[in-house]
Amino acid sequence: MEIKIGVIGLGYVGLPLARLFATKFPVVGFDINQKRVDELNSAKDNTLEVEEDLLKTVLTKQPLKEIGLYCSTDINDIAECNYYIVTVPTPVDKNNRPDLTPLYKSSETVGKVLKKGDIVVYESTVYPGVTEDECVPVLEKISGLKYNVDFYAGYSPERINPGDKEHTVDKILKVTAGSTPEIGIKVNELYKSIISAGTHLAPTIKVAEAAKVIENSQRDINIAFVNELAKIFNILNIDTQAVLEAAGTKWNFLPFKPGLVGGHCIGVDPYYLAQKAQEAGYHPEIILAGRRMNDSMGDYVASQIIKLMIKKNITINKAKLLMLGITFKENCPDVRNTKIVDLIKALSDYGIEITVYDPWANPAEVKHEYNLLTTTAMPEAKFDAIVLGVAHKEFLNIDLQLFKSENAVIYDVKGVLKENVDAKL
């Protein structure tokens, strides 16, 4: 039987995966955003994950007629697929509770075209049990088919690192799993055909789900530890970066750095694991303590900046501050769950007037997501304070004298600026 793949969701995860599969199989990339689909069909990717020339090599004019990628918002175009790969986001709500709405909606979409023998693979980061306890019942209800009799499920958690051109999807080892041992082998073979780094077949879907969610929880806890160290060493008037550099000379010291922990994974995934643990009657102390520490860093950095400004006799109310960067990480346009927003809010509460300069972020997207104005053009004004929030390559050698008022404070959140700064995290 010829493999025909439908990828549901064409964002940071779905598009690179669909493009890669399209080098070997007929693929339809499905998304509900018509503007996004139109851009992709013209070989433009505003997430910057897939280059135009690379995208052009796989785009086709008709769905599933040949090897290649056809992008569509029409559910009929995925009706002939026999593998459905769901790559939608899994955010948290304002109370940090998992929001499975995108998964439910995408499962309903797949359920409408699901046929006997089809396999539905989920890539979204979830807590253990979501695939079989939450998504599969939706597939059964909408399709009228029976799980592990008429159709099957798989799980292969995404490991995309937005903006990373070295560790691309094909070069990152892929964990796979299936709803039966036989389906596990099928799913594993499918991914093995495109992933040069290899695959790891987990024994069950729940094991694969748990493995993914602890990857980012582990990073979150480690970063929380060095964030706490930064607070301690700041009180003791010790250079945190110098301490970490010295400690890092031991072969087994883990090289984590303090910072604002945002993004769609590390700042979110621990809450998924915590939610499931609490439902099972266990209160996860270390995981939630790490989250509290990292979520507090925006307010902490703001307080440090305010103290420096006061020491320089800068009037806080109506002071002008330049924020360099708003994306959640360097050299990437992704603004999802960026913690720079926490820092901006904390500083704004003091009456500071903030100009946000980020050559990578889409101003319309930032306005829509956070109701904040940003600019991609270098400002010409002078500022009372300059904060390096994101280590974009454009900022590494920037001449801050262009923006400094006579007594300006310079604060380096990322610890990467070469010229003299007043403080760094």
Residue 65: count of CB within 10 angstroms of its CB: 10
How far apart (Å, rounded) are the C-alpha atoms in residues 420 and 412?
10
Residue 342, sorted as left (phi over 0), alpha (psi -120 to 50) or beta, turns out to be alpha
The sign of the torsion formed by the CA atoms of 402, 405, 408, 411 equals: negative
Select which of 71, 81, 135, 265 is catalytic. 265
| Closest residue by Cα to residue 296 from 228, 391, 376 | 228
For the chain, what's the residue count?
A: 425
How far apart (Å, rounded) are the C-alpha atoms in residues 141 and 144?
6
| Closest residue by Cα to residue 133 from 244, 280, 8 | 280
Query: 139 near 150, Cβ under 8 Å?
Result: no
Q: Is 265 assigned a catalytic role?
A: yes
How far apart (Å, rounded) are the C-alpha atoms in residues 149 and 147?
5
How far apart (Å, rounded) are the C-alpha atoms in residues 315 and 306?
10
Taking the CA atoms of the chain, what radius of gyration do you get in angstroms? 23
| Closest residue by Cα to residue 6 from 80, 60, 62 | 80
For 183, the token pair is 């389906």
Half-sphere exposure at residue 233, Cβ-oriented, CA atoms within 13 angstroms: 17
Token pair 């029976």 is found at 146
Residue 91 has φ and ψ, to the nearest 5°, of -85, 180
Helix or strand (DSSP H, E) at 386: strand 383-388
Looking at residue 194, its amino acid is I
15-27 in b/e form (b: 16+ CB < 10 A) is bbbbbbbbbebbb
Positions marked active-site: 265
